[in-house]
A and B are shown apart, each in its own frame.
Chain A
Amino acid sequence: MLTGSVIIFYLLAALTLACGVLSVTTRHIFRAAIYLLFSLIGIAGIYFWLQYEFIAAVQIVVYAGGIAVLIIFSIFLTQQAGSKLPAQTNQRKIFALLAAFCGFALTMLQVYQHEFYLSAFPTGSVSIHAIGEQMLNVDQSGYALPFEVISMLLLAAMIGCIVIALRIKNQTEENPPVTGNSES
C-alpha cells in the first residue's frame, strides 16, 4: 500500500541519490557543491523520516550549514568562476564505474543474504533529554570520555587549521587565516 510516508521516503531517497550522482559527475565545480548540499539535505530528511530529529538537526546545522558553506567558500577562493573542470579520460571513468559497481553488487549481495534480527517494535523518536544524559554520563554506558576526546580533537584541528593556513610573516603582510573558525 502506498501511504504518504512511503511516498516521502522514496522521494527523499531519489533526491539523495540523484543529487549524489550529479555531484560526482558534473563538470561545474560550483554546481557539484550545490548538488552535494541537496544530497546532504536529503539525508537529513531521511533522518527526520526515521524520527531521529536530533541527528537530523545536527546534520543540517553541521553539514548543510557548516561544511557545505566551507566548501563553497574554498571554491570561491581557489577556482576561477565559471570555468569547467577538465574532462576525465574514458578509461579512468570506465574502470572507476566498474570498481564502484562491483563493490556495490558485492555489498548488496551480502546484505540481502544476511538475515538481520529485526527488533519487534521499532520505537519512535528518542528524547533529547535522554541523549544528553547518556552523552555526559560517566557510567558504563556513558559517552563522557569520547565526548572529551572529540573536544580535544576539535581544538587541535582548529589550531592546526590556523597554523597551516597562516602566511609566513616575511612573505607578506599579516592576513587573517581563511579557515579555522568553521566548527566553533
Chain B
Amino acid sequence: MQPGLYHILFISAALFFIGVYGFFTRRNLITMLMSIELILNSVNLNFVAFNKYLWPEKMDGLFFTVFIIAIAAAEAAVAIAIIINLYRSHHSIDVEQAEELKN
C-alpha cells in the first residue's frame, strides 16, 4: 500500500503521544526535555506532510518547520541552562526535589 498523507499523520500522532506519555511518567528534567523534543518533531512532521500533499506548490509549511526548529534549539539551550543551575543548587534534577515554592 503506497504511503501517503494518512501514514505520515499516523506516525506524527503516534510520536506526539509517545512524547506525552514520556512527559507524564518521567520525573527527571532532562528526560522531560527529551519528550518535549519528540512532541516538537511530530509537529514538524505534520507541517511538512501537509505542505507536501495538500499544497505542494507553496512552501509555507517548510518555513514553519524551519522556524519551529530554530525555536526548539533556543528552548533546549535555555532549558539546559536552567537544569544546570538547578543541579548546582539542589544536586538533583528530579522535579520532586525542587519544591521550595510549594509551601
A residues apposed to B, CB below 8 Å = 6, 9-10, 13, 16-17, 20-21, 23-25, 29, 32-33, 36, 39-40, 43, 46-47, 50-52, 54-55, 58-59, 62-63, 66-67, 70-71, 74-75, 77-79, 85-86, 88, 92-93, 95-97, 99-101, 103-104, 107-108, 111-112, 116-119, 121-123, 126, 130-131, 134-135, 143, 146, 150, 153-154, 157-158, 160-162, 164-165, 167, 177-180, 182-183
Contacts and interface: CB of A to CB of B under 8 A. Distances in A.
Contacts of B25: 24, 88, 92-93, 96
Interface residues of B, number: 69
B81 A164 contact: yes
B31 A96 contact: no
B20 A74 contact: no
A40 B30 CA distance: 16
B37 to A, nearest CB: 6
Which secondary structure dominates chain A's binding surface?
helix
Contacts of A158: 74, 77
Given A119-B54, A122-B56, A101 B82 contact: no
A55 to B, nearest CB: 6
Ranked 5 nearest A-B pairs via Cβ: A24-B22, A96-B24, A157-B74, A100-B21, A161-B81
